[in-house]
Amino acid sequence: MTRTDRRSLIAIIGMVSVVGVTFGLTSPLLNLLLERQNFSSRAIAINGSMMAIGTIAITPYVARIIRRFGATQFLYSCLGLTAVLFLMLKNWPNYGAWLLIRLVLGCSIAGLFVVSETWINHLATDQNRGRILGLYAACLSIGFGIGPLLINLTGIDGWAPFIAGAALIVIAAAALGLARSRAPEFGGNVTGGLMTFFKANPLAISAGLLYGAIESGLFGLMPVFGVRTGLSEVHAVRMLSAVALGNVLFQVPIGWLADKINPRVVLLICASVGAAGGLALAGLGGTLAIWPVLVIWGGTVTGLYTVALTMLGRQFTGGALAGANAALISAYGVGSLFGPPAMGVAMDINDPNGLAYAMAAMAALYALMVTISLRSLRNP
């Protein structure tokens, strides 16, 4: 990797990490405000799912937009729109307006992630792809972890958290400026959408689906789960930071492992730990033992996405890589759309442990899918 490539890689990872702070702030901030207004878990989850609808809506077109306008120009447009929308959330603080704003916010943030992850995958090689994507996931997780902690400084009342989120987007735009000279060209026609790439690599795309469901349910409902198990709002939000700590600690080792052994085996490990950890959360709510479980469980579940990115980067290049990454994020969006409402229903039925049981069941089903795939390889 050349010095220019390293500079570009650092700039893109830095930019996305700062965006991750705002992203990590958004769900707990808005959902705690909705919880304060006595909305049900289901209503809170539906509101948060509007970002997923935005993700699904934009991703089929991102590869074409990159090809026409360029990666850098598209990223700057997404950053500007994200900053404006974040301030609009405070200016129109009602449930209906937030549905629409979070829909458009989902489009802008999804665009940022598709282009950034494709750019990073473009710079990596098959020898270091897992480690580089693990580093990216770890840095992004630092942003996700810092986001909820900002609530400790800003509170959830007034303009402070919204101004902080918008200001961070400005910082992200400044970081992007360092990589402008290295914007890649993603040429070639991109044919097919989510189902095309699912057929090409069902395990990778399904990993995005599962991760979208668990992560969105986690960020949307885990603070509510914490409050309902007896924690204060501040300590409930810190549960997300414990998960983010696990992400930081585990992503590079998981990526390294995916570089060394069959990535499908790594997916099976991550899914199995995800299922076991979900069951453990249900039994440990409100106890000190839940904190190390959150760290280990969160880090391994996020590894699903890291390994999926690694698999797609090995399989596709150029415009096809952008299309595959868009399909992965589209699958993430589908999971984000249906996961949180299902978890909200589970939480209403079995309050609050339904959340943990639902996440464990989803991870177990995916582990079964990977197991069947591995057995088919051994017995063709």
Q: In 3-state terms, what secondary structure has residue 175?
A: helix
Q: pLDDT at position 35, please?
A: 82
Answer whether residue 231 shows pLDDT above 90: no
Q: Is the peptide bond before 253 cis (omega within 30 degrees of 0)?
A: no
Q: What is the mean pLDDT of residues 270-278?
A: 94
Superfamily of domain 3-378: MFS general substrate transporter like domains (1.20.1250.20)
Q: What whole-number distance in Å separates Cα of residue 60 and Cα of residue 43? A: 28
Please state, for a pLDDT cut of 70, what percent of the chain lies above it. 96
* pLDDT tens readout for residues 126-181: 889 999 999 999 998 888 778 878 888 888 888 999 999 999 999 999 988 887 55
| pLDDT category of residue 187 using cuts at 50, 70 and 90 | low
Of the two residues 80 and 193, the one the predictor is more confident about is 80
Mean confidence (pLDDT) of the chain: 87
Of the two residues 31 and 41, the one the predictor is more confident about is 31
Answer whether residue 190 shows pLDDT above 80: no
The DSSP code sequence of 111-162 is HHHHHHHHHHHHH--TTTHHHHHHHHHHHHHHHHHHHHHHHHHH-SSSSHHH
Q: pLDDT at position 189, please?
A: 61
Answer whether residue 200 shows pLDDT above 60: yes
Q: What is the mean pLDDT of residues 171-194?
A: 73
Give the angle 273-274-275 at the CA atoms, nearest 5°.
Answer: 90
Answer whether residue 247 shows pLDDT above 90: no
Alpha helices (H) in the chain, listed in sequence order:
3-36, 41-69, 71-91, 95-123, 129-154, 160-176, 194-200, 202-228, 233-260, 263-284, 290-315, 318-349, 354-378
CB 66 within 8 A of CB 326: no
Q: pLDDT at position 150, please?
A: 87
Q: pLDDT at position 43, please?
A: 84
**Residue 48 Rama label (left phi>0; alpha psi -120 to 50; beta):** alpha
Answer whether residue 37 shows pLDDT above 80: yes
* pLDDT tens readout for residues 58-117: 988 888 888 888 888 899 999 999 999 999 999 888 898 999 999 999 999 999 998 899
Q: What is the mean pLDDT of residues 329-333?
A: 91
The DSSP code sequence of 241-270 is HHHHHHHHHHHHHHHHHHHHS-HHHHHHHH
Q: pLDDT at position 199, please?
A: 92
| pLDDT category of residue 191 using cuts at 50, 70 and 90 | low
Answer whether residue 262 shows pLDDT above 90: yes
Answer whether residue 288 shows pLDDT above 80: yes
List the chain domain ranges: 3-378
Q: What is the pTM of this model?
A: 0.86
Q: pLDDT at position 100, please?
A: 94
